[in-house]
Every structure is written in structure tokens, then in C-alpha cells.
């Protein structure tokens, strides 16, 4: 039993009390059969007037229950031989379950039932707890009841914080484990009951306090202190075949200031697709090398790793800075040589995928960790890279880059008060992309347009979206499309790139496309992020209705990078659902990443915007960053004042909600 509780992270009474119900059932009153609605969980009372066994896909027992107001069928899937006979003999039964629409109209699915009608109904709502195999709801309920008694007797959970108008913690917990029968179930199920709000607020405050402890610890650690950028940086900037925008110069300066501080920095660099973040990353990396430290640039895909490597190489080789790249598919001698050069310090800059986390990857002196397209990584992965530097006794600086604007309240909650730089300007000379939304039935016509565009020198992407979650199947779909297009577009050269190809194969195709030897590149969404080929000015996305706004915006960002006028054609399959229609409209209207992200929030509801990878990292017991956004500012402020004024309370808060302060590894 203790083991099972441990699996639920329940180690003591306090944890048990904070193990809050997932939902509630109302077993406090009997519903008339005529009033039962689909989706309701209800108690019904009546007589079984008929039973029969149905042989369908699954054998089931149907028992017809009647009360004064009507009748309804109970459907049992697991039943014994005697059960059928027994049910018919009972004068009356009471049963509990969910009403669903079934084969015989409304049905009560696999109800619990009891013939002990004299037993009183429950007086409070029945909590349903997160459970695990081997421990039943009944057992958890019993334990919680005992814990509640202890809670009400002594000061097991003293009030650590107070917020005007909100119930204190003891009352909140008693209410949430045993809500009165007349409590507002809707409010409870949405987490908006005043008791839930009070606890969420306390948890958010505790979480913020935890971040402050981590921050305090972090800034005490030594970090690589870089000197003011010198001639190498000047030389780098002079060597570029473009001039940096004002916005780029500004953020480069902000970052450079960070690097000279001597304490580890954590900076978020936001800039829309195509705003030129890579060159900023390179600039910071040059500063690291100039000061004798290594820099790592982590990216989410192999294609991007290689491309960044090639770009950076052309910039850095003239400066005699050594650079290489690592991914899962780089093996054998190449790999071992690379790892050796990295640990000896011969290699100054490395670009890589997740492969950079592996144990064999040892840095000589990692001074700067840059994460590109951070929304594709989890907090833990970012920290894994950072820890590679920490092992050598100091913390690397961290620069996190993203094209997806993240609302400030959310970044605060995930990372604390992180510094933030924004590139709010695109390089000059970019021409807007014309976006059209077109039914897939006009595919032939589209192919003709593509042919004309390529005939006049353009290159094009043809993006096949995932049909199946399986990479193999989507690769096959892309292969079919490539074959079709090859026939239809003859004599144009059609290339194909998808997730099932080896790194080397992908690289070869991308190189050919980049060199103009391939005119039309059929691709799965592997090209979604970062790919930068200026001559590509035409993009077709098939089944665009399947993709989310952020993904569409990223994909479209692959064109419109050169001087030529660019087109993006979004093909959709009919019938088009309401939200898909809204999304495609937003794409047609705007090319502004911030606007698109805002619309995304409105269309999807904020729940998904952060993505599981990021928000899933924060294991709240009750709070929800999105739902409880309105309380965040207040929680941040309170955490700061508690942290600076009362260390005992600050520690107790973290202890109560998170565990020991040292377990708390967010920053
Ligand atoms: P993103 O911010 O989406 O990562 P990139 O760094 O890939 O954008 O930059 C997009 C393209 O713009 C690249 O080809 C890059 O070399 C180029 N670029 C970056 N900064 C400038 C600038 N100031 N002027 C012109 N081109 C630039
Ligand atoms: Mg980029």
C-alpha cells in the first residue's frame, strides 16, 4: 500500500491532503428516470422489469429498470450467470452510473448497483481521485477521511499565505475532499471553485518562490566571464554579405552585455520567422570562442543542424574558428574524432541535435549553450545541455531562441523573470508572400501554375502533411506525390525529402535543392523549421487544414526569403471544419508571427499553445497556468515579497507544494 501511495507521490499526510480529486460524482440524490440526460452521472431507483442477453460485438446483459416516471435500460458487460435471475427477483434496486446514448436509446452503462435500499444516500459529493493499479477509490477515500480528521484537530497545514476574500487552506481542503451536496459541480469541474482558486494561488506562489530559490542558487555559481567583443567580432560583422538591422544590433548588444557579467545568464530571444536569429547566435558564439570558451547550438532537426553548420562555417572559417556538427546519424570514425576534438577543446563551436545530450559528449569548456526553436524542446532537455557545462564547475550562459511569441506571464511561470530580447524588424528588401487558400480539387491547375513559376526560374516546395502519425506511411505518401509530380512536371527535376531518409540522403537532397539542381522539392513537414533557401519562392501545402497555425506560419516562412515575389498556396480537402476555416483565413490575412500567435490563442483556446513539451514540465497539483493566468502577477509579487522577507515561510511553501528546495530544478 505504501508503495502504491508512493507511486502517486504521496509520502506523508500533507501529500495525501493535497492529492485532490479529479472530479466528483453526485450520489446524494435520486434522479427520476425521465430526467436523466446523456452524460450525467446519476443514481436511479426502480424495479427491474425485464432482462435479456444481447449478442453483439460484445455480449452484454440488458436489464430494463422502471420507476414512476419511465424506464431505461441498464447495460452490463461483465456479469455472472446468477446475476440475470437475481436482478429480476429484486423488488427494487438503486444504481449509479453514466447515462449514454446506446443501441436501445438512453442507457445506463455498466452501473454499480445495490439492493440495500435502506442505506442512506451519500451526504456529500463523492470525490474521484487520481489512482493507480492496486489501490482503489474506496481505499483512497478512507485514507483521506482519516487525514481530514487529523487536519481539523491540529495545525497540520498552517496558513502560510492569505489572500483577501479567499478561504484558508484547511477549509479549502475539507471542502474539496467533501463538497456539500449543493456545491456547484460545474464550477468544481472547471477548477473555479473559490477553494480551488485559493489552493491554485498558493501553489502558483510556491512555484514562483521555488524559482526564486533556484535563481539565487544559479547566480551564485560562477559563469564564464567574457571580455568586451573585440576585432574578431568586428571582422565577423564586416564579413557578412548584408548589414545587420537596427533590431539585430540592439539584441546583439543586449546579449553581449549578458556575457560580460560573470554570472550565468538566461535570455530568451524572440524574433519572427526570417528575422535573422541565426546570425545573432553566431555572433554570441564568436564571442565565446574569442574568450577561449566553447559554444553549442542545439536545434530540433537533423536538416536544420546541417544547414546551420554550413551557414556558420562560411561565416566562421575565415576567422579561423573551428566548427562541426553532430547528429544521431554521424557515426564511426567521424564521430569519435569529433568527440575527441570536443573534449580536448580543439573544436570551438558545435551544432547538433538531441545527440548533444548523450553521455559520450564531453566539452572541454562549454561557455554558451544556445537553443534554437526552443518550442520544440522541453525544459529538461535544455537543462541537460546546460549541465554539460556545469560538470566542469561553472554554468554556461544560455540563449534560448524562438519564433513563437510566448506571453510574458507564461515565461515568468516557467522560467521566472527571464531576460528577453525581441527582434521586431525584418531585414530590408523582403517582399510579402501572397497566400491563397484553394480547394484540393483544383490540384491540376495548381500543378500548371507551379510549372510556369519554375519555368521562369523559381524553385518550389511541395509539402505533404502527415496523413498518419506513422513516419513510414507519410513517407510513402510523399513518395507517391513526388512520382506524380515528376510525370506532370517533366522535364523539371523533382526531389524528395522525408523523415525516413538517412541524414546523408537528406543532406544530399537539400544541397542539390540549394544549388538549384532540383526545382521542386517534395517534402514532409521535416522542413518545417529553419530551412533557409533564398531562391525558393513558391510553396504548396497539401491538406493545409490539418496543420496548426504555428506550423503553417513556420512552413510558409521557408519562402519569401529572397528578392523574388513569393507565393504560398494552401490546398485543403473538403468539407472544411469551422476552426480549420478560421485558421486558413488568418494565414491569408497576415504574415505577422505575433498576430498569428494571438489568433492561435483565440481559436485554439490557450490550453494548447504552449505545447505539452513545455507546459507538461510543470507538475502542478492543482494550478493551471492558463486557467489561472489572472492570478499570476499577484502570485509573482507575493512570492517576491515572501522570498525577501521571510525565509522560513518561503521554504515551508516550497516544501509543501514542491518538495525540498534542492529538488526544484526549473531554471
Ligand atoms: P530566423 O530568425 O527565422 O532563424 P534566419 O536566421 O534563418 O531567420 O535568417 C533568414 C535569412 O535572412 C538568412 O538567409 C539570413 O542570412 C538572412 N539575414 C539575416 N539577417 C539579415 C539582414 N540584416 N539583412 C539581410 N539578410 C539577413
Ligand atoms: Mg531560425
Is 269 near ligand 1, meaning CB less than 6 Å away? no
Residue 388: which pLDDT band, with cuts at 50, 70 and 90? confident
Express each pLDDT in 167-193 by its tens digit. 889 999 999 999 998 999 889 989 999
For residue 612, being part of any structural domain is answered with no
Question: Which numbered ligand comes closest to the C-alpha of 269?
Answer: 1
Domain of residue 37, residue span: 29-114
The answer to whether 353 and 507 have CB atoms below 8 angstroms apart is no
Lowest mean pLDDT, pick from 77-91, 287-301, 349-363: 77-91
Pinpoint the alpha helices (H) of 183-245: 185-189, 194-220, 231-239
Tell which one of 276, 428, 555 to mutate to probe ligand 1, the residue whose CB is within 8 A of the most ligand atoms: 276
The answer to whether 176 and 193 have CB atoms below 8 angstroms apart is yes
Residue 632: which pLDDT band, with cuts at 50, 70 and 90? confident
What is the C-alpha to C-alpha distance for residues 240 and 236, in angstroms, rounded to an integer? 7
The pLDDT, as a whole number, for residue 665 is 45
The answer to whether 299 and 372 have CB atoms below 8 angstroms apart is yes
Question: Does 446 share its domain with 352?
Answer: no
Express each pLDDT in 326-376 by its tens digit. 998 888 999 999 999 999 999 999 999 989 988 899 999 999 999 997 766
The pLDDT, as a whole number, for residue 202 is 95
Is 397 near ligand 1, meaning CB less than 6 Å away? no
Lowest mean pLDDT, pick from 242-256, 359-373, 442-456, 608-622: 608-622
The mean pLDDT of 299-309, rounded to a whole number, is 86
The answer to whether 485 and 522 have CB atoms below 8 angstroms apart is yes
Question: Does 452 share its domain with 549?
Answer: yes
Express each pLDDT in 391-425 by its tens digit. 667 788 999 898 877 666 666 666 666 788 999 99
Question: Does 311 share its domain with 399?
Answer: yes
For residue 70, being part of any structural domain is answered with yes
Is 500 near ligand 1, meaning CB less than 6 Å away? no
Ligand 1: centre distance to CA 126 (Å):
58
Question: Does 381 share its domain with 487?
Answer: no
The pLDDT, as a whole number, for residue 133 is 86
Question: Does 466 share its domain with 490?
Answer: yes
The mean pLDDT of 94-112, rounded to a whole number, is 90
Q: Kindly list the protein residues that place their beta carbon closer than 5 angstroms to ligand 2, a single-atom ion.
A: 530
* Of 87, 99, 92, 109, the residue nearest 42 (C-alpha): 99
Question: Does 44 share its domain with 12?
Answer: no
Residue 607: which pLDDT band, with cuts at 50, 70 and 90? very low
For the chain, what is the mean pLDDT?
Answer: 86
What is the C-alpha to C-alpha distance for residues 124 and 142, in angstroms, rounded to an integer? 14
Nearest atom in ligand 1 to the alpha carbon of residue 557 is: 3
Q: What percent of the chain has pLDDT over 70?
A: 91
Largest Cα–Cα distance of the chain, in whole Å?
95
Number of domains in the chain: 4
| Per-residue cell: 102 | 446506446
Question: Does 303 share its domain with 255?
Answer: yes
pLDDT at 253 over 90: yes
Is 532 near ligand 1, meaning CB less than 6 Å away? yes
For ligand 1, atom 17: residue with the closest CA: 276
Q: How many CB atoms lie within 10 A of CB 53?
A: 11
Question: Does 416 share its domain with 541?
Answer: no
Question: Does 372 share its domain with 397?
Answer: yes
The pLDDT, as a whole number, for residue 154 is 78
Residue 492: which pLDDT band, with cuts at 50, 70 and 90? very high
Pick the more confident residue, 388 or 139.
139
Express each pLDDT in 25-73 by its tens digit. 989 999 999 999 998 889 999 999 999 998 877 889 999 999 999 999 9
pLDDT at 664 over 60: no
Is 499 near ligand 1, meaning CB less than 6 Å away? no
Ligand 2: centre distance to CA 352 (Å):
14
Report the CATH number that the domain containing residue 38 is assigned in CATH: 2.40.50.140
Q: What are phi and psi of 586, to 5 degrees?
A: -60, -40
Q: What percent of the chain has pLDDT over 90?
A: 47
What is the C-alpha to C-alpha distance for residues 574 and 289, in angstroms, rounded to an integer? 54
The answer to whether 526 and 554 have CB atoms below 8 angstroms apart is no
Question: Does 141 share its domain with 85?
Answer: no
Residue at a domain's end among 373, 396, 423: 423
Q: What are phi and psi of 397, to 5 degrees?
A: -70, 150
pTM for the predicted model, two decimal places = 0.70
Report the CATH number that the domain containing residue 409 is assigned in CATH: 3.40.50.300
For residue 569, being part of any structural domain is answered with yes
* Of 168, 164, 299, the residue nearest 631 (C-alpha): 164
Instruction: Give the E-state strand segments of 259-389 in sequence order.
Output: 266-271, 294-298, 323-326, 349-352, 366-371
Burial class (CB in 10 A: 0-12, 13-18, 19+), 536: buried
pLDDT at 608 over 50: no
The pLDDT, as a whole number, for residue 410 is 65
Amino acid at each position: 500500500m505504501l508503495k502504491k501511495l508512493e507511486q502517486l507521490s504521496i509520502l506523508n499526510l500533507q501529500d495525501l491532503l493535497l492529492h485532490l480529486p479529479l472530479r466528483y460524482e453526485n450520489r446524494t440524490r435520486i434522479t427520476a428516470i425521465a430526467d436523466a440526460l446523456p452524460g450525467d452521472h446519476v443514481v436511479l431507483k426502480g424495479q427491474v422489469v425485464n432482462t435479456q442477453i444481447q449478442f453483439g460485438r460484445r455480449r452484454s446483459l440488458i436489464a430494463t429498470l422502471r420507476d414512476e416516471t419511465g424506464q431505461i435500460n441498464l447495460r452490463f458487460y461483465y456479469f455472472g450467470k446468477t446475476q440475470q435471475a437475481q436482478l429480476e427477483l429484486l423488488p427494487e434496486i438503486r444504481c449509479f452510473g453514466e447515462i449514454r446514448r446506446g443501441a436501445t436509446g438512453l442507457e445506463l452503462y455498466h452501473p454499480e448497483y445495490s439492493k440495500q435500499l435502506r442505506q442512506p444516500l451519500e451526504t456529500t459529493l463523492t470525490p474521484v481521485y487520481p489512482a493507480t493499479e492496486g489501490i482503489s477509490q474506496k481505499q483512497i477515500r478512507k485514507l483521506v477521511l482519516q487525514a481530514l480528521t487529523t487536519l481539523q484537530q491540529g495545525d497540520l497545514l498552517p496558513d502560510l499565505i492569505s489572500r483577501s476574500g479567499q478561504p484558508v487552506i484547511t477549509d479549502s481542503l475539507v471542502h474539496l475532499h467533501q463538497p456539500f451536496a449543493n456545491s456547484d459541480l460545474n464550477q468544481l469541474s472547471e477548477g473555479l471553485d473559490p477553494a480551488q482558486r485559493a489552493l491554485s494561488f498558493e501553489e502558483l506562489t510556491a512555484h514562483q518562490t521555488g524559482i526564486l530559490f533556484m535563481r539565487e542558487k544559479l547566480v551564485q555559481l560562477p559563469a564564464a566571464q567574457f571580455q568586451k567583443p573585440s576585432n574578431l567580432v568586428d571582422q565577423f560583422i564586416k564579413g557578412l554579405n548584408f548589414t545587420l538591422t537596427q533590431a539585430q544590433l540592439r539584441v546583439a548588444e543586449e546579449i553581449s552585455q549578458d556575457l560580460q557579467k560573470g554570472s550565468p545568464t538566461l535570455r530568451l530571444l524572440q524574433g519572427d520567422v526570417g528575422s535573422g536569429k541565426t546570425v545573432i547566435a553566431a555572433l554570441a558564439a564568436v564571442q565565446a570562442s574569442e574568450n577561449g570558451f566553447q559554444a553549442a547550438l542545439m536545434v530540433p532537426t537533423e536538416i536544420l543542424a546541417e544547414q546551420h553548420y554550413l551557414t556558420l562555417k562560411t561565416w566562421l572559417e575565415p576567422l579561423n574558428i573551428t566548427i562541426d556538427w553532430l547528429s544521431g546519424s554521424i557515426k564511426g570514425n567521424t564521430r569519435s574524432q569529433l568527440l575527441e576534438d570536443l573534449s580536448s577543446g580543439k573544436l570551438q563551436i558545435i551544432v547538433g541535435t538531441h545527440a548533444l545530450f548523450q553521455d559520450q559528449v564531453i566539452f572541454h569548456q562549454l561557455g554558451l549553450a544556445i537553443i534554437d526553436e526552443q518550442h520544440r524542446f522541453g525544459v529538461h532537455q535544455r537543462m541537460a545541455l546546460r549541465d554539460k557545462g556545469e560538470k566542469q564547475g561553472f554554468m554556461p550562459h544560455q540563449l534560448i531562441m524562438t519564433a513563437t511569441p510566448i506571453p510574458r506571464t507564461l515565461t515568468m511561470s516557467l522560467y521566472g523573470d527571464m531576460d528577453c530580447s525581441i527582434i521586431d524588424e525584418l531585414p530590408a528588401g523582403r517582399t510579402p508572400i501572397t497566400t491563397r487558400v484553394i480547394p484540393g480539387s483544383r490540384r491540376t491547375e495548381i500543378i500548371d501554375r507551379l510549372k510556369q513559376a519554375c519555368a521562369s526560374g523559381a524553385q518550389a516546395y511541395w509539402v505533404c502533411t502527415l496523413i498518419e502519425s506513422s513516419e513510414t506511411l507519410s513517407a510513402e505518401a510523399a513518395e507517391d506525390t513526388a512520382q506524380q509530380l515528376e510525370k506532370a512536371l517533366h522535364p523539371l527535376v523533382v526531389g524528395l525529402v522525408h523523415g525516413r531518409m538517412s541524414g546523408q540522403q537528406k543532406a544530399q537532397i537539400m544541397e542539390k535543392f540549394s544549388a538549384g539542381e532540383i526545382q521542386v522539392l517534395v517534402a514532409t513537414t521535416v522542413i518545417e523549421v529553419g530551412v533557409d533557401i533564398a531562391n525558393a519562392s513558391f510553396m504548396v501545402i497539401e491538406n493545409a487544414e490539418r496543420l496548426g497555425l504555428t506550423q503553417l506560419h513556420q512552413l510558409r516562412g521557408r519562402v519569401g526569403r529572397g528578392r523574388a515575389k513569393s507565393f504560398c498556396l494552401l490546398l485543403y480537402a473538403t468539407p472544411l471544419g469551422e476552426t480549420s476555416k478560421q485558421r486558413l483565413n488568418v494565414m491569408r490575412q497576415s504574415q505577422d508571427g505575433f498576430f498569428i500567435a494571438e489568433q492561435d490563442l483565440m481559436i485554439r483556446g490557450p490550453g494548447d499553445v504552449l505545447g505539452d513539451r513545455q507546459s507538461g514540465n510543470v507538475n502542478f497539483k492543482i494550478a493551471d497556468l492558463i486557467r489561472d493566468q489572472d492570478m499570476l502577477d499577484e502570485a509573482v509579487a507575493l512570492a517576491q515579497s515572501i522570498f525577501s522577507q521571510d525565509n522560513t515561510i518561503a521554504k515551508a511553501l516550497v516544501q509543501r507544494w514542491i518538495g525540498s528546495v534542492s529538488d526544484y530544478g526549473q531554471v
